[in-house]
Amino acid sequence: MKVILASNKAAGDQAAFNVFQQVIENGAKVLGLATGSTPEGLYKLLRESDLDFSAMTSVNLDEYVGIAPDNPQSYHYFMQKHLFDAKPFAHSYLPNGLADDPDAEVKRYDQVVADHPVDLQLLGIGRDGHIGFNEPGSPFDGGTHRVKLTQSTIEANSRFFASEDDVPKEAYTMGIGTILKSKEILLMAYGDKKAAAVQKMIEGPVTTDVAASALKKAANVVVILDPAAAAKLQPSSITERI
Ligand code: F6R
């Protein structure tokens, strides 16, 4: 795990952009994407760049259950607004939050990922250490599944909704097993609310109590942090400062 401490968020976004640019130059065909506030700066850099995704495929980590793609709170909508409107991919896949048959939807999405092996998977991290919506206790070999969100995640995500009651209580998410199959993984974390989860992921034991600790089992992982997210780390845990 390579841990990059950026002097600020802008430097972190630029470092993440450089990772994307490099894998695309190296011939990547499939990008695994994330939503949330963390990648917004990176997506802005991608939107304003001359990178061309029109021959590539994107596969997103997750989507809320019960929300239509044109609902502004949906992850479909988020991706459209922050990236796809400006930079269309040949094919973009997300779980279908409105699927009638959850078992069929889980199988369909696992097949999507099997058919499009991810070259670079972008991740954020939850305050409880989740990646995708793999909450504490999720098995490390799991595939796509429907999950009940924890109270911590519902509270954290309520900032995007009118009230906490409006936050969907369930989501579809790629499993940790799915995520670990990506050839490369880039996890970004900003702000003091992530510091404890980041410390556990990097310096704690590999345990299903902290979903992100599974990343220590993957070969090519880059973590980009700002000083607030890195505040609880030992200096020796930092690989590079930029
Ligand atoms: C989003 C996702 C989540 C977020 C995490 C952090 O697609 O899978 O794991 O990455 O909840 O969210 P932010 O970036 O809003 O702090």
CA of 123 to the centre of ligand 1 (A): 7
Q: What is the pLDDT of residue 22?
A: 97
Cα–Cα distance for residue pair 17/15, rounded to 1 Å: 5
CA of 101 to the centre of ligand 1 (A): 25
Reported confidence tier of residue 160, pLDDT bands at 50, 70, 90: confident
State percent of the chain over pLDDT 90.
93
- What are the pLDDT digits (tens) for 181-193? 999 999 999 999 9
Pocket test for ligand 1, best of 35, 82, 152, 174 (most atoms within 8 A of CB): 35
Q: Please tell me if the CB atom of residue 186 comes closer than 6 angstroms to any atom of ligand 1.
A: no
Tell me the residue type at 43.
Answer: Y
pLDDT at 81 over 90: yes
- What are the pLDDT digits (tens) for 37-48? 999 999 999 999
Q: Please tell me if the CB atom of residue 126 comes closer than 6 angstroms to any atom of ligand 1.
A: yes
CA of 169 to the centre of ligand 1 (A): 15
**Atom of ligand 1 lying closest to residue 130 CA:** 9
Q: Please name the residue whose Cα sits nearest to atom 12 of ligand 1.
A: 36
Q: What is the pTM of this model?
A: 0.96
pLDDT at 153 over 90: no
Reported confidence tier of residue 152, pLDDT bands at 50, 70, 90: confident
Pocket test for ligand 1, best of 33, 133, 157 (most atoms within 8 A of CB): 133
Q: Please name the residue whose Cα sits nearest to atom 1 of ligand 1.
A: 35
Catalytic residue IDs: 62, 128, 130, 135
pLDDT at 106 over 90: yes
What is the DSSP track for 31-79? EEE--SSTTHHHHHHHHHS----TT-EEEESEEETT--TTSTTSHHHHH
Reported confidence tier of residue 157, pLDDT bands at 50, 70, 90: confident
Mean pLDDT calculated for residue range 95-119? 96
Q: Please tell me if the CB atom of residue 34 comes closer than 6 angstroms to any atom of ligand 1.
A: yes
Place of tokens 């400062």: 241
Task: Mention every residue, 6+ apart, whose C-beta is less than 8 A from residue 123.
Answer: 34, 61, 131, 132, 179, 185, 186, 187, 188, 212
Q: What is the pLDDT of residue 159?
A: 87
Q: 63: closest CA among 157, 129, 155?
A: 157
pLDDT at 241 over 90: yes
Mean pLDDT calculated for residue range 7-20? 98
Mean pLDDT calculated for residue range 85-114? 96
50: how many CB neighbours lie within 10 A of its CB? 4
Q: What is the pLDDT of residue 62?
A: 97
Output the average pLDDT for the chain.
Answer: 96
Cα–Cα distance for residue pair 97/95, rounded to 1 Å: 6
CA of 189 to the centre of ligand 1 (A): 9
Reported confidence tier of residue 156, pLDDT bands at 50, 70, 90: confident
Reported confidence tier of residue 207, pLDDT bands at 50, 70, 90: very high
Q: Please name the residue whose Cα sits nearest to atom 10 of ligand 1.
A: 124
**CB contact at 8 A, 149 and 182:** no
Structure tokens at 181: 């199959």
**CB contact at 8 A, 147 and 173:** yes
CA of 83 to the centre of ligand 1 (A): 16
User: What letter does residue 225 receive in the DSSP assignment?
Assistant: E
Tell me the pairing of strands 170-173 and 62-64: antiparallel
Q: Please tell me if the CB atom of residue 62 comes closer than 6 angstroms to any atom of ligand 1.
A: yes
Coil, strand, or helix at residue 6? coil
